[in-house]
Amino acid sequence: MTAAQIEALELFQDIANRPDMHFSMMFQPGDLQLLNNHVMLHARTDFEDYDEEDRKRHLLRLWLSVPNSRPLSPLMKDVYRDVRPGTWRGGYPSASGKIVFHSNVTQD
């Protein structure tokens, strides 16, 4: 990367890390968070779970496909099998690298 590109990325990160440009939240039982991964930056901090099985966190993820979505870059084709707007794309690969596509819903 060029010095200008590195400088631009550092500026981008500095702006994103400003307190007035982000918020933090701690999930509580029953919480729901909806966001669009393609227009919003997000990150997670380390999470330490309880040792007791009945106290462990139970987190579910759901990838929604909405009719008025934006097209994705063709460079994302290997991750999201269909980059056209309004199509069902599936989720991002897990830490293992495995990509799993499930659907119980048919598209009109």
Burial of 44 (0-12, 13-18, 19+ CB in 10 A): exposed
Confirm whether pTM is higher than 0.85: no
**Structure confidence by residue, pLDDT tens digits, 44-87:** 788 888 999 999 888 877 777 788 888 989 998 887 778 898 88
Cα distance between residue 86 and residue 79, in whole Å: 16
Calculate the average pLDDT of the chain. Answer: 82
In the chain, the percentage of residues whose pLDDT exceeds 90 is: 21
Cα distance between residue 78 and residue 97, in whole Å: 12
Alpha helices for the chain (secondary structure H): 3-16
